[in-house]
Structure 1
Amino acid sequence: DNGFKVMSANKPLHAPSDFRGLKMRIQSSKVLDAQMRALGANPQVLAFSEVYQALQTGVVDGTENPPSNLYTQKMHEVQKHVTVSDHGYLGYAVIVNKKFWDGLPSDVRAQLEGAMKDATKYANAIAQQENDAALAAVQKTGKTTIYRLSDKEKAEWRKALLPVQKQMEGRIGKDLIEAVNKEAAALGQK
């Protein structure tokens, strides 16, 4: 887990219309490309190592990252505004070869599954702490304004980004999208 993402730019990003015409850096992803286009932005694929300079020189106007990435890469030094949008999630997967996994004794698989569950819970807690600390550190610099979307603004963002779900059903799977929406609704984040 690396947590939920924030948006940054040199102008406030409170409503989807604020993205119109902005060049927003994304990592290579059809989903992220579609998200930015749904917001009216022009997605720009750039390597992570090039983002700071691209923001500094105006090659791109803004980007999206978990707060910890924004802070450790010093993007806040060249971005005046950060919006805590939680519009996307950056997570990591642990993958194992099926033939190898199925060849393990069931008691070993059970122990490994338990260890992964515990490690995931621990790592997710660390990621949340790091993201919270990063936002606080960015705010403390006084160089960047931190803005938290109101419930009404979150609803506007969801409405603007909803077509991306339909557009990506074939790529991600309708069942997975529905499961995520069900979980979000259960957490009160329709």
Structure 2
Amino acid sequence: MKKLLLGTIAAAVVASSSMAADYTLKFSHVVSANTPKGKAADFFEKRLEELSAGKIDVQVYPSSQLYKDNAVLKAIRLNSVQMAAPSFSKFGKIVPNLALFDLPFLFKDIDHLHRVQDGEVGQALKDKVAAKGIIALNFWDNGFKQLSTNKEPLLTPKDAQGQKFRIMSSKVLEAQFHAVGANPQMMPFSEVYSGLQQGVIDGQENTNSNIFTKKFHEVQKHMTITNHGYLGYLVVMSKKFWNSLPADLQANVTQAMNEATEKEREYAQELNDSQLAQIKAYADKTGNLTIHNLTAEQKDAWRNAVSKIYPEFYSDKTIGKDLIEKTIATK
């Protein structure tokens, strides 16, 4: 009876809290709650409710409970959901300029990447998304990509010649592998493990966390730490919902999002570091995988080989020369 009474009181408190909120913000994402994106979304929920003194009730829906990424942008425009964090590839048809982040060896390191995202180039990209009727908030990390293969270890660009690499749908990634004489193969992420295992493809590119969680390292002979490309997300909000908020609550959203972004980037770095350590432990234990680190000269050779594709994407209908040059010039 006591438990029943406590449960009733708790439910009443939750209901009362929800009724007290002036706005309800549904945040839909496709990953589990214990991922960097999931943990950052939960942090954002608590922080915004705190900053807004309960005026905004944030409800986070992980693991595609509401929408998958291929449907969420339409839902955002309809205000069926108020916030989401899709990968850049999901914006391909409406803002192709976000393929900037696919360009290989464009970013010197993670700090340079974040200066680009948080500076003039990042704002220009957000403005392009806003022009399509969606409010762009901040960029969140998955991480830098590495290369792996079952054939020749990938130390110089010529080592990639003739090898078949899985890519997601991207003109930039096609050009990247063609530039080194490799054969890019578009394949759903869910099929990559079996493709590597059965020899349909020789290799792939992904972040440490993607490689580890999908066990790609268990069906590859060589992995090269290249940090050549980047995977990330853009947190977006319904324009209708944003415009419905008074200025003080918009400021609360901005502050909570900025704080959540710092946390997400920390979570992503920690995860990629810890899972690379686990991949190395697997390699040491089994001897089935060799991990290679590029010398400065080898990295320069890769950069010189693949950066030749940049001019192919100077058109504003693709990425744009101005965005590429400003990214390179960002200090």
TM, length-normalised to structure 1: 0.91
Q: Quick one: distance in 1 between partners of 2:321 and 2:311? A: 8
SS at match of 1:109: helix
Alignment of 1:54-73 (within 5 A): 54-73=195-214
Q: CA offsets, 1:71-123, max 9 Å, x none?
A: 11000011111111111000101122335434432222222112111111111
Q: Quick one: distance in 1 between partners of 2:212 and 2:201? A: 18
Counterpart in the other structure of 2:73: none
Q: Which of 229, 244, 249 lines up with 1:108 in the alignment?
A: 249
Q: CA offsets, 1:110-137, max 9 Å, x none?
A: 2211211111111111111111111111
What is the letter of the counterpart of residue 299 of structure 2? K
SS at match of 1:12: coil
Q: State the identity %.
A: 49
Counterpart in the other structure of 2:27: none
Alignment of 1:59-98 (within 5 A): 59-98=200-239
What is the letter of the counterpart of residue 138 of structure 1? I
Counterpart in the other structure of 1:161: 306
Q: Quick one: distance in 2 between partners of 1:176 and 1:97? A: 26
Cα deviation, residue 144, structure 1: 1.6
Cα deviation, residue 62, structure 1: 0.1
2:290 equivalent to 1:145: yes
Gaps of 5+ in 1: none
Q: Quick one: distance in 2 between partners of 1:56 and 1:95? A: 37
**Farther-moved stretch of structure 1 (123-132 vs 42-51):** 123-132
2:301 equivalent to 1:179: no
SS at match of 1:92: strand
TM, length-normalised to structure 2: 0.54
Q: Quick one: distance in 2 between partners of 1:44 and 1:118? A: 38
2:192 equivalent to 1:51: yes
Q: Quick one: distance in 2 between partners of 1:174 and 1:65? A: 26
Counterpart in the other structure of 2:147: 7
Cα deviation, residue 145, structure 1: 1.5
Counterpart in the other structure of 1:121: 262
Cα deviation, residue 70, structure 1: 0.4
What is the letter of the counterpart of residue 145 of structure 1? T
How many residues are matched? 184
Q: Quick one: distance in 2 between partners of 1:121 and 1:182? A: 24
SS at match of 2:235: coil
Q: Quick one: distance in 1 between partners of 2:192 and 2:160? A: 18
Q: CA offsets, 1:21-45, max 9 Å, x none?
A: 1100001111111111112111000
Q: Quick one: distance in 2 between partners of 1:137 and 1:81? A: 15
Cα deviation, residue 180, structure 1: 2.0
Counterpart in the other structure of 2:137: none
User: Pairwise CA RMSD of aligned residues?
Assistant: 1.3
Cα deviation, residue 66, structure 1: 0.2
Gaps of 5+ in 2: 1-140
Pick closer, same or farther for the CA change 1:173–1:103 going to 2, 3 Å. farther
